[in-house]
């Protein structure tokens, strides 16, 4: 493995959700620990599942992994980090200031921006703590999906500059006066990240055109902020030996090889490793230890799998039910890489084809809906909540309204305040709110960012709702975005997952988080199911066998409304292939049009 040769102190794994960053980072940690190195594995993903991989509770503290000598792990919990961060700021003034003042400060620090800043504060500490660095040979970062990671890696530079220009100001960091220590730390973090002798960034991808295109964009964005030492790993490549068994395996192998051969030019000069698809789930030390092996281990069929096929409806059944309502908000949520963008586009296209007005949009910083659609359709409007564009729009609005009567000095102070990275949180939330309002007259289908990022957006929505409720007079009626999300007549949340252990657990955790926010998911979608697709490939059949227990768990433990979407022979890009995901026809797709039978 080229990315494992002469590894520096810091290794970052990043890429689109679902490409295998966690598996690779955990396998790398086990590999280096097996060489006698002391390793710290850190997850910066708000929806981390490192603990699930090692079957051990980790959390927001450095924890020894009991099954791997020399390995410790840490999951940066954004909520816990934010609580500790707020207490560091509010604790010293509690009791010294009036209660209403303290409560106001706590409310100021209750938003998603503070949560993100607190997590990033811990992240920069890991890069700059000389004592901690001395304790470990390597610190490995399993990062959040691409869009969130790029923002995290940009924050040290953004905050370093903001503090330098606003030494007496205030923001979601709290009062900035006296934060010279933080400014120095952020500057040191930027220096460490951009030093190729200390940091190597591993871009993880799958052999898919859309994923490789996104990795190319990520490569350029990270190189632009100084992270030039990059490797590329293409994970989960179907071996050529499997292509001879049936049309599905042959089609998968062909499109993967075409994607690799035609990958963007900016990636071709990067050191490249390819890892073969494994027949088993990469959970547990034994499975992870074999990730870098070329051996074709024959995994046993899962014990206790259902004895007979399970009939599940296709996606068309749910779309028919949605269409009857005439309008509303449909939100696709789930772990990165499960296919939210594709399924959001498929549902939107299917509704538009029924003659219904549809607005398809995304809140994912790394999503590119136009690439998935690859065409246009009557009744279908497509947009993207672009954080940079929305932030600039918000800044200009504030300058025109609040800044119109200010003198030169006041306007300069307002402009400095608007350069705070926290401004993005407000701008994205406002764009999100605008889109939600449209759902009263048409269908709005939203492809959301991967789980952790979406929950941060919902935090902002909840904070706004509490603020409105606190100040509203008792006889005044109001409707906030959160109230619309909580109303099942207005909003249908569809949780997307794969029939694999980790994605299903992640989806179940997301469902509990949503329920705590008063939002009840409407349905689950099991995407890319091999057990619903005909195959004779031994490797694909073994992977299909692992799916059955998870499918049964979804339909019996987690939801009463579920649809199954089979693995497709061709990548679903374009109007016709997307329609085929909803109801296979015209030679597209592999499942039946009435019910999908889960069978080998």
Q: Any idea which residues carry the catalytic annotation?
A: 18, 20-23, 45, 502
Extract the runs of DSSP E, i.e. beta strands, from 455-561.
491-498, 523-529
The three-class DSSP label of residue 391 is: helix
Cα distance between residue 587 and residue 593, in whole Å: 12
Q: Which residues pair with 139 in a beta bridge?
A: 10, 40
Q: Which residue from 370, 385, 333 is spatially nearest to 17, judged by alpha carbons?
A: 333
Short-list 80, 108, 77, CA closest to 93: 108
In degrees rounded to 5, what are phi and psi of residue 262? -110, 25
Could you give phi then psi for residue 464, rounded to 5 degrees?
A: -65, -45
By residue count, the chain amounts to 600
In the DSSP assignment, the letter for residue 14 is: E
Q: What are phi and psi of 378, to 5 degrees?
A: -60, 145
Q: Are 51 and 58 in contact (CB under 8 A)?
A: yes
Name the pairing type of β-strands 523-529 and 63-64.
unpaired
Q: How far apart are CA 303 and CA 308, in angstroms?
A: 14
Burial class (CB in 10 A: 0-12, 13-18, 19+), 516: exposed
**Which tokens is 114 given?**
């503070």
Task: Check residue 420 and give left, alpha or beta (phi > 0: left; psi -120 to 50: alpha).
Answer: beta
Q: Which residues contact 389 (CB under 8 A, 6 or more apart)?
A: none
β-bridge pairing 230-237 and 328-333: unpaired
């Amino acid at each position: 493995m080229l990315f494992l040769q002469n590894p520096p102190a810091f290794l970052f794994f990043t890429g689109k959700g679902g490409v295998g960053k966690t598996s690779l980072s955990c396998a790398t940690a086990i590999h280096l620990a097996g060489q006698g190195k002391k390793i710290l594995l850190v997850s910066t993903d708000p929806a981390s599942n490192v603990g699930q991989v090692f079957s051990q509770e980790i959390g927001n503290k450095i924890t020894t992994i009991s099954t791997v000598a020399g390995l410790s792990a840490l999951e940066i919990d954004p909520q816990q980090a934010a609580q500790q961060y707020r207490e560091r700021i509010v604790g010293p003034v509690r009791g010294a200031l009036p209660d209403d003042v303290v409560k106001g400060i706590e409310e100021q620090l209750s938003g998603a921006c503070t949560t993100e800043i607190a997590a990033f504060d811990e992240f920069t500490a890991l890069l700059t703590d000389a004592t901690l660095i001395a304790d470990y040979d390597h610190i490995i970062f399993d990062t959040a999906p691409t869009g969130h990671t790029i923002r995290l890696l940009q924050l040290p530079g953004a905050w370093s500059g903001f503090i330098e220009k606003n030494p007496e100001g205030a923001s979601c960091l709290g009062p900035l006066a006296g934060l010279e220590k933080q400014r120095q730390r952020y500057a040191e973090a930027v220096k460490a990240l951009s030093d190729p002798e200390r940091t190597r960034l591993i871009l993880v991808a799958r052999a898919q055109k859309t994923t490789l295109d996104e990795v190319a964009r990520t490569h350029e964005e990270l190189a632009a902020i100084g992270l030039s030492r990059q490797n590329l790993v293409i994970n989960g490549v179907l071996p050529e030996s499997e292509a001879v068994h049936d049309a599905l395996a042959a089609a998968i192998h062909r499109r993967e090889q075409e994607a690799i051969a035609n990958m963007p030019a900016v990636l071709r000069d990067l050191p490249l490793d390819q890892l073969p698809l494994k027949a088993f789930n990469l959970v547990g030390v034994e499975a992870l230890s074999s990730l870098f092996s070329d051996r074709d281990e024959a995994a046993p069929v899962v014990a206790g799998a259902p004895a007979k096929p399970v009939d599940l409806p296709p996606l068309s059944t749910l779309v028919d039910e949605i269409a009857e309502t005439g309008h509303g908000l449909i939100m696709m949520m789930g772990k990165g890489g499960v296919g939210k963008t594709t399924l959001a586009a498929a549902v939107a296209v299917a509704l538009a084809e029924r003659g219904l007005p549809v607005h398809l949009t995304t809140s994912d910083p790394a999503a590119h809906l136009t690439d998935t659609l690859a065409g246009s359709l009557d009744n279908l409007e497509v947009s993207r909540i672009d954080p940079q564009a929305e932030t600039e729009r918000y800044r200009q609005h504030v300058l025109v309204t609040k800044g119109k009567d200010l003198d030169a000095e006041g306007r300069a102070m307002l402009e400095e305040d608007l350069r705070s990275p926290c401004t993005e949180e407000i701008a994205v939330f406002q764009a999100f709110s605008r889109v939600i309002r449209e759902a009263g007259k048409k269908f709005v289908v939203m492809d959301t960012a991967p789980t952790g990022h979406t929950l941060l957006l919902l935090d902002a929505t909840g904070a706004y709702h509490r603020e409105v409720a606190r100040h509203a007079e008792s006889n005044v009626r109001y409707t906030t975005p959160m109230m619309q999300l909580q109303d099942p007549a207005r909003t249908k949340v569809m949780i997307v997952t794969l029939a694999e252990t980790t994605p299903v657990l992640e989806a179940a955790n997301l469902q509990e988080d949503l329920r705590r926010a008063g939002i009840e998911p409407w349905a689950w979608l099991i995407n890319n199911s091999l057990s619903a697709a005909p195959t004779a490939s031994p490797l694909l059949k073994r992977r299909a066998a692992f799916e059955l227990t998870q499918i049964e768990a979804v339909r019996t433990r987690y939801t009463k409304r579920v649809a199954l979407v089979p693995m497709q022979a061709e990548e679903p890009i374009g109007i016709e292939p997307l329609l085929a995901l909803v109801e296979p026809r015209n030679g597209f797709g592999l499942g039946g049009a009435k019910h999908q039978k889960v069978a080998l």
